[in-house]
Amino acid sequence: MQNKLTLFLSRNSRFIPLTVTALLAFLAYIVGAMLYPGMRDIQVFLNIFRNNTYLMISAVGMTFVILSGGIDLSVSGIVALTTVATAALIRAGWNPWLVFLLMLLMGAALGAVMGSFVAFLKVQPFIATLAGMWFARGMCFFISDDAISISHPVYTLLGQTKILIPGLAEIAWAQGRAAPYVTIPVLVSLLMVALAIYIAHFTRFGRNVYAIGGNEQSARLMGLPVNATRVMVYTFSGFCSGLAGIALSIFVLSGHGLYANGYEMDVIASVVMGGTMLTGGSGYLFGTPFGVLILGITQTLIQFNGSLSSWWTKIVIGILTLIFIGVQSLLVARKGGRKARELSPQARRQRWIYGGAATLVVGVLAVVLIINGGRLNSAVNTPEAERCALKPYRQDLAASLVEGGAVMVYERNGGPDCIDELYAIYPDGRITGNDGTENVEKQVTSDELNQVMTGILERGWFTDELYNTWHTPCGQCYGYYLTVVNNGEQKTVKGVDGGTDAPAVYWQIISLVKGLVPKFTAAP
* Beta-bridge mates of residue 434: 422, 439
Which one, 455 or 498, has the nearer CB to another protein? Answer: 498
Task: Give alpha helix (H) positions in 70-177.
Answer: 75-91, 96-120, 125-143, 153-160, 168-174
Quick one: 59 or 485, whose CB is closer to another protein? Answer: 59
Give least dist CB 230 to another protein, A: 16
Instruction: Between 2 and 382, name the residue whose CB sits nearer to another protein.
Output: 382
Q: Which residue, 453, 459, 438, 402, is CA-closest to 518?
A: 438
Cβ atoms of 46 and 211 closer than 8 Å: no
Residues in contact with another protein by the rule CB under 8 A: 71, 117, 121-124, 126-128, 130-142, 145, 257-258, 265, 268-269, 272, 278-279, 309, 311-315, 317-319, 321-322, 325-326, 329, 333, 350-351, 354-355, 357-358, 361, 369, 372-373, 376, 379-380, 385-387, 416, 475-476
CA distances from 329 to 272, 326, 334 (A): 12, 5, 9
Minimum distance, C-beta of residue 486 to another protein, in the bound complex (Å): 38
Per the DSSP assignment, residues forming a β-bridge with 442 are 431
The least CB distance from residue 368 to another protein, in Å, is 11
Q: d(Cα 188, Cα 9) in Å, to the nearest integer? A: 36
**If DSSP states are collapsed to H, E and C, what string results for 164-220?**
ECCCHHHHHHHCCCCCCEECHHHHHHHHHHHHHHHHHHHCHHHHHHHHHHHCHHHHH
279 vs 469, beta carbon nearer another protein: 279
CA separation for the pair 334, 341 (Å, rounded): 10
The answer to whether the CB of 50 falls within 8 A of the CB of 186 is: yes
- How many beta carbons lie within 10 A of that of residue 51, not counting itself? 17
Comparison of 361 and 367: residue with beta carbon closer to another protein: 361
Helix (H) or strand (E) holding 409: strand 408-414
Chain-centre distance for alpha carbon 37: 24
Strand pairing report for 148-149 and 489-496: unpaired
Q: Any residues with CB less than 8 A from the CB of 139 and at least 6 apart, and which?
A: 81
Q: Among residues 311 and 467, whose Cβ is nearest to another protein?
A: 311
Identify which of 77, 262, 248, 14 has the alpha carbon closest to the alpha carbon of residue 150: 248
Query: 77 or 206: whose CB is closer to another protein?
Result: 77
Residues facing residue 482 across a β-bridge? 410, 493
* Residue 433 near residue 439, CB atoms below 8 Å: yes
- Minimum CB separation of residue 19 from another protein in Å reads 21
Between 222 and 379, whose beta carbon lies closer to another protein? 379
In the complex, least distance from residue 158 CB atom to another protein, rounded to whole angstroms: 28
* Smaller CB separation from another protein, 383 or 429: 383
Q: What's the min distance (Å) between Cβ of 484 and another protein?
A: 32
What is the distance, to the nearest Å, from the Cα of residue 171 to the centroid of all Cα atoms in its chain? 30
> Least distance to another protein from the beta carbon of 256, Å?
10
Q: Min. distance of Cβ 326 from another protein in angstroms?
A: 7
Least distance from C-beta 330 to another protein, angstroms?
Answer: 9
Minimum CB–partner distance for residue 389 and another protein (Å): 12
Task: Work out how close the CB of 128 gets to another protein at its nearest, in angstroms, rounded to a whole number.
Answer: 7
- HSE-up of 188 (CA within 13 Å, CB side)? 20
Q: How wide is the angle at C-alpha 455 spanned by C-alphas 449 and 458, nearest 5°?
A: 140
DSSP of 282-298, one letter per residue?
---TTHHHHHHHHHHHH
Nearest CB to another protein, comparing residues 416 and 518: 416
Residue closer to another protein (CB basis): 214 or 373: 373
